[in-house]
Amino acid sequence: PAPGGNPTTDPLDRVRVDAAGQRLTTNQGVPVADNQHSLKIGLRGPTAMEDFILREKLTHFDHERIPERVVHARGSAAHGYFECYRELGALTRAAPFAQAGKRTPLFTRFSTVAGERGSADTVRDVRGFAVKFYTEEGNWDLVGNNIPVFFIQDAMKFPDLVHAVKTEPHHGMPQASSAHDTFWDFVSLMPESTHMLLWQMSDRAIPRSYRTMQGFGVHTFRLVNAAGESQFCKFHWTPMQGTHSLVWDEAAKLTGADADFHRRDLWEAIEAGQFPEWELGLQVFSEEQAASFAFDVLDPTKLVPEELVPLLPVGKMVLNRNPDNFFAETEQVAFCTAHIVPGIDFSNDPLLQGRIHSYLDTQISRLGGANFHEIPINSPIAPVQNNQRDGMHRQALNRGRVNYEPNSLGGGCPFQAGAAGFTSFPERVAEDKVRGSAELFADHYSQARLFYESQSAVEQNHIAAAFRFELTRVQTPAVRARVVAALANVHPVLAGAVAAGLGIEIPPPLPLATDRPMPEYAPSPALSLFSR
């Protein structure tokens, strides 16, 4: 690290290639005399099998594509840094918060969720907001969305959700839209998705720009300080450019006129020196406070209202450099919720717990084997030293005789770091092993209503109009009716507006689960650490 604790190493320096003005070679470094003509037996004869130059060129081309991400396939990214406003040692030992003014390099990728890699940017969809912090204690990935809650409460349901969201399997349509029967069929049978559905039908799902989106870690995480004390935490990114959306007519026209609208906007702003910035805010609360809330903080379909736990601004992210190479960086970057560093830990949110498995697992096939952490955009600035060896595309040239532990022959083998290393928070858990969900997970509507009522009249009209538009494209009447029945549990005005637009009666509301009022909020002792 440079003075002030600011890491300066750019992992990409090692692999940047600028070949302008250099001689053309094969992949073996052999200079190529003629890059226009294959080797033929006579000018009008067959091509010679021995033309290794042609064969190498075609073979490489034939293998240029890798699988797209199973979700979030379409995205755009940029480099930048996180600057800490204040030292947060009382709350967390995480390296980015070690010192006021400290800068941590990062790479951020924004994405749509449902569409394919070539789909349009301005469709109605959730947006991914994934940040990779390259800290001196390893990479920390905050893999979030622009909406603070999620459709489902348990990782067990994710493959079904995504199968319903993506193109219908028999005809591969629609490419990037929530306007189809399978999506609405699924969510109408999954009342826990109601809160997120309201956000998705709101203007939040058609952002004006990636630069004008909020970002949320969604799950409850833990912060852990050097003494091993822990608080719960929610992460929020707030755009300094303001939070702005398109209106639906603009979004629909842009989808036809410029499929790259958001990609172009981010790229051009950075090229022009208009570096976008987001403030990182934390909602910090204790386990005791969490136990007093009317909702379960392990339920990712719920947010923690800022009236209950205010947002503490702790630093800002600045995106100030476009990638050199879209494929090498934006496409090959591998974010993973399992990438945490000392000072951050998981909660038992059952959606988060499943995510911890899925990202590394999918990347083994997407990026070809177990060594994709060596791809420069993924490789930490912290040294990587362990006994893992071999596998496809291994780059590291690990030296020495010993690659096992314990050993008495190794000499220079890495040693485990003990208390200086990552230590899981020793949460006490003594429960029966069961399938099911906690009682408060059954409240599906009170926060949906809270969100609807927090919107202005114009925004409420947009939500009703979006439900109407999307549902008129659903062909199965029973599916439409089920969605309106769920809305009747949220708000009679909303359900009435959507039902009228569809020309149907409001069906009887779905049976209500628990629907409790919010308790009074007592500020956490940790909050007094902050004056701002």
* Contact (CB, 8 A) for 274 and 246: no
Taking the complex as a whole, the smallest distance from the CB of residue 40 to ligand HEM amounts, in Å, to 43
**Angle (nearest 5°) at CA 74 between 69 and 79:** 100
C-alpha to C-alpha distance for 331 and 337, rounded to whole angstroms: 18
Nearer of residues 179 and 360 to ligand HEM, judged by Cβ: 360
Q: Is 111 helix (H, G, I), strand (E, B) or coil?
A: strand
Does position 354 interact with ligand HEM (CB under 6 A)? The reply is yes
Q: According to the annotation, is 428 in a ligand binding site?
A: no
Taking contact as CB under 6 A, which single stretch among the options 56-64, 356-364, 418-426, 504-512 is the one that binds ligand HEM?
356-364
H or E, element range at 131: strand 127-135
Q: Is 145 a catalytic residue?
A: yes
Shortest distance in whole angstroms from residue 208 CB to ligand HEM: 19
The set of residues, in sequence order, having a beta carbon less than 8 Å from that of 454 and lying 6+ positions away, is none
User: Looking at 27, 35, 37, 72, which residue is catalytic?
Assistant: 72
366 assigned ligand-binding residue = yes
Least separation in angstroms between CB 108 and ligand HEM: 9
From 19-27, 64-72, 200-208, 257-265, span contacting ligand HEM (CB under 6 A) = 64-72
Residue 358 found at the interface with ligand HEM (CB under 6 A): yes
Clarify whether 72 is annotated catalytic. yes
335 in a known ligand binding site? no
Say whether residue 103 binds ligand HEM (CB under 6 A).
no
Per CB under 6 A, contacts with ligand HEM among 66-85 are 69-72, 75
Distances (CA, A) of 121 to 197, 473, 513: 20, 21, 37
E strand map for 36-124: 75-84, 103-112
Nearer residue to ligand HEM within complex by CB, 98 or 352 = 352
CA-CA distances (angstroms) from residue 269 to 210, 319, 354? 11, 10, 36
CB of 324 to ligand HEM, least distance (A): 18
**Long-range contacts formed by 241-244: CB under 8 A, 24+ apart:** 241/209, 241/211, 241/212, 241/276, 241/277, 242/212, 243/212, 243/213, 243/214, 244/207, 244/208, 244/209, 244/212
262 binds ligand HEM, rule: CB under 6 A: no
Question: Per CB under 6 A, does 363 bind ligand HEM?
Answer: yes
If residue 59 lies in a helix (H) or strand (E), which one and from where to where?
Answer: helix 52-62
For residue 50, the minimal CB distance to ligand HEM (Å) is 40
The catalytic position among 79, 139, 145, 236 is 145
Q: How many residues bind ligand HEM (CB under 6 A)?
A: 27
449: annotated binding-site residue? no
- CA quadruple 442, 447, 452, 456: dihedral, nearest 10: 180
For residue 234, state whether it binds ligand HEM (rule: CB under 6 A).
Answer: no
Residue 9 contacts by C-beta under 8 Å, 6 or more apart in sequence?
Answer: 381
CA–CA dist 380, 248 (Å, integer): 41
CA–CA gap between residue 82 and residue 134 (Å, rounded): 10
Q: Does 145 bind ligand HEM (CB under 6 A)?
A: yes
Annotated binding site for heme, which residues? 69, 109, 158, 355, 359, 366
Annotated binding site, which residues? 69, 109, 158, 355, 359, 366
Residues that bind ligand HEM (CB under 6 A): 69-72, 75, 109, 111, 128, 130, 143-145, 150, 155, 158, 218, 333-335, 351, 354-355, 358-359, 362-363, 366
Which active-site residues does the annotation give?
Answer: 72, 145
